[in-house]
Amino acid sequence: MKISKELFNELCEAIDKVLSAHSLKTITNHRNTITYTKSRFIAFCWSMFHASKYDCMKLYKAGLDDTHIETALKRILSDFE
């Protein structure tokens, strides 16, 4: 992964806050109701990212693009795949 350990940890914390704020049942239901895309898991990852309200400009300024961010999100949320 191209993302630095520091940014990865910050992103993990932001995602964890979202996961902690909602029940596992709610999160799982959300993941299972995504029907508008080929990959439910990828859409779920981006949903969690947007719900976290993490400053995406921080990632872009570090030279990352959406593929790098997506790879990090997939790693963080791999339990939901």
Secondary structure element (H or E) that encloses residue 11, with its range:
helix 5-21
Query: What does pTM read for this prediction?
Result: 0.83
CA-CA distance, 16 to 20, in Å (whole number)?
A: 6
Q: Could you give the C-alpha distances from 17 to 36, 41, 63, 72, in angstroms and in order?
A: 26, 19, 25, 16
pLDDT at 63: 95
Classify residue 37 as exposed, middle or buried by CB count within 10 Å of its CB (0-12, 13-18, 19+): exposed
pLDDT in tens, the chain (81 residues): 799 999 999 999 999 999 898 887 887 777 777 776 678 889 889 989 999 999 999 999 999 999 999 999 999 999 888
